[in-house]
Structure 1
Amino acid sequence: MSLITQRRAQKRIAQNMRDLRLGRELTQKGLAERSGVSLSSLRKFEQKGSISLESFLKLALTLGFMDKLITATEPVESNFSSIDDVLAKDDKKPKRGKHE
């Protein structure tokens, strides 16, 4: 569990992306043109941290960290201490999400 709030995470991700853009010596206009994200959406993202997932992924692809993003969202595999743990895990593998 993380102690960071959603709002702070948004701002931090936006700042990280801005730093990546500047590190590649791209202007906001240049990144917007290369990624296909509107300049107004990019500005709003860098200032407030708000952007659609589609636009975020376009920026990730253009800035070169799409693979890292996909890896960061992969489920974490647990470590097993015995073959019984492995077999028990396979039996309990969910077929679909829980209803809430």
Structure 2
Amino acid sequence: MISLITPSKALRKLAENVRSRRLSVGLTQEGLAERSGVALPTLRKFEQKGVISLESFLKLLLVVGGLEEVLEAVKPEKPTFNSIDEVLKEDKVIRKRGRHK
């Protein structure tokens, strides 16, 4: 699947969404920073530029909601089978590895 959104646009959109969630639950930046354990300057930088570590991002989602949805979004797809032969064929593949460069 081809995505038309750039990583920098995605970061800004994530920041907008977290800001919207923060406002919808009635938290100030200071309140969210305190409850999440993310430093206030880090939160401000995130809301302005979309720059944040993954750990801090997840801490914010834990407070404003959305952590479960993110985990579900990155969950690997389970294969769907149309016959028992496909199940047996899949069963033989034990390990999958990435290729070395």
Superposition TM-score, scaled by structure 1 size: 0.91
Q: List aligned pairs for 1:11-22, cutoff 5 A.
A: 11-22=12-23
Alpha-carbon displacement from aligned partner over 1:13-38 (angstroms, at most 9, x marks no partner): 11000000010111111100000000
TM-aligned CA deviation for residue 57 of structure 1: 1.0
Corresponding residue number in structure 2 for 1:66: 67
Q: Percent identity?
A: 55
Q: Letter of the aligned partner of 2:44 in structure 1?
A: R
Q: Which runs of 5+ in 1 are unaligned?
A: none
Corresponding residue number in structure 2 for 1:96: 97
More displaced 10-residue stretch of structure 1: 31-40 or 80-89: 80-89
CA–CA distance in structure 2, aligned partners of residues 95 and 79 of structure 1: 18
TM-aligned CA deviation for residue 95 of structure 1: 4.1
Q: Is the 8 A contact 2:21 2:65 kept in 1?
A: no
Runs of 4 or more above 4 Å deviation:
none
Q: List aligned pairs for 1:74-89, cutoff 5 A.
A: 74-89=75-90
Relative distance call for 1:25 and 1:74 in structure 2 (3 A) is: same
Q: Which runs of 5+ in 2 are unaligned?
A: none
CA–CA distance in structure 2, aligned partners of residues 90 and 44 of structure 1: 47
CA–CA distance in structure 2, aligned partners of residues 48 and 10 of structure 1: 8
Q: Letter of the aligned partner of 2:67 in structure 1?
A: M
Superposition TM-score, scaled by structure 2 size: 0.90
Q: Letter of the aligned partner of 1:60 in structure 2?
A: L
